[in-house]
Amino acid sequence: MTIHTIVISDIHLCEAMPGNGLWLRYRQKKYFPDTDFSQLVEYICATAEPKSVELVLNGDIFDFDVLPIIDGEVLYDDCARSEEHAIETMKRILQDHTVFIAALRKLHSAGHRLVFISGNHDTQLIFEGVRTILRTKISHNIIFRNWFYISPNKIHIEHGNQYDSYTCYRYPAFPFDDTGKNIQPTLGSLTCRHLVSRMGFFNPHVDNSFMLSFSEYISHWVQHYFLTKRSLIFAWMKGSVRTFVTTWKSRTHIDERLLGRMLEEAYTETKISRELLRKHILEFAKPSEDARIRVLRELHLDYLTLCIVVCALMVFTLTFSGEYLMLKTAIASCIVLSIYHYILPKNESLNSIFARVNACERNISDIYKVPAIVFGHTHAAFGIWQNEKFIGNSGTWTPRFLDIECTKPLSTGRPVIWLTRQDAGNLSGGLYQWENGVLKKNHHS
């Protein structure tokens, strides 16, 4: 019997932005990947035998962290962390993605399996109410996994956010705050909601669109914010402070009971020994909210705090000691700020974080000795065969453009991991690109 395991991740489906403006332009319907996905499903159903495919949607298929759009209006409220709010958000998302849902129904009607793995942006899939909506819309036989999934082909598949300190949960099978009812907000989730999503001329799916130098930020502000009612600086200040305070207030605590429950749940689902599962857990990153100074520096609030202190000192010296001492204070403050900037170690870059995620993927494949392992999360697709073992990343299907006008796509293809085992033979396949209705083997991964 032939079994095909197809893995796609990081589609980030969300509510559509009405109109044709530049603000949140990447969220307009014409840039959604639904039609491409529907065509891929048509191809799968036409080429694969019935009941031979399992499609694994490997996390961040939906995005609960972006700003909600209700009746055409963007709402700047908090994320959908409770089950009640998550259900309403899921309903709104599905209203704008009927083509995507219809494609999943078609896949299931052909007898194929469908698996949803939670990511850091759609952790809300753990709520039974959210799962019920998807089961009603698609099929009651959907498989859900909160942490990782082992396919019939013995392929280890998980999203990968557990190895990124900005997006990991202490216990991914129970990603709740201390109330046990609401989703725990991670630094990555809060930054997305309170910062990047509120700067609508940036594309959060393209790091280079918002990770700019100081001069580039000035140029961006002059071009898009100057003489308008929108404020880039105020959005950053308010969002950064709110993110830091929320991160501090909502920290979770170590709970050995939850660790035990997570191990038992994973053992029940996979029959993997608890010893190996514990080795797996040791690969987890430490949540960034455990290091408050690091969060402060990541949000650049340390510089804001120092600048406020310097300004206060200058006002104080000018008021009580005159202009000469104020000038000396200003010079001394500049020297101190320069020393602070150049001497203190910098926080990790995204490249170093993603390199660690990839390293953990290899470590986990060694722990379980599986023939293949697939992550998502980093949005950087790759596929490598080493000693008859496949290591890959399913990349992203998000609307990624190099310009605000969305005219220069970062890539024209959609990454697809397709692995096949025929009878008792070895796995074959790898990373492909779905482009213009054609599935092309990626030979440069």
Q: Across the 445 residues of the chain, what is the mean pLDDT of every consecutive 10-residue run?
A: 92 93 91 96 93 95 90 73 92 96 95 96 95 95 94 94 93 87 90 83 79 76 81 82 86 84 88 92 90 82 84 82 80 83 74 90 94 95 93 95 88 93 86 93 67
Residues with Cβ within 8 Å of 402's Cβ and at least 6 positions away in sequence, in order, are 206, 208, 209, 408, 409, 410
Indicate the pTM of the whole model.
0.90
The answer to whether residues 143 and 100 touch, using CB atoms and an 8 Å cutoff, is no
pLDDT of residue 309: 85
Which amino acid is residue 180, in one-letter code? G
Cβ count within 10 A of residue 129: 13
**Residue 233: per-residue pLDDT:** 79
The secondary structure of residue 377, as a DSSP letter, is: S
Alpha-carbon distances, residue 52 vs 9, 73, 268, 433 (angstroms): 20, 43, 25, 21
pLDDT at position 443: 61
Q: Please tell me the predicted confidence (pLDDT) of residue 444.
A: 54
pLDDT of residue 77: 67
Distance, C-alpha 215 to centroid of its chain: 28
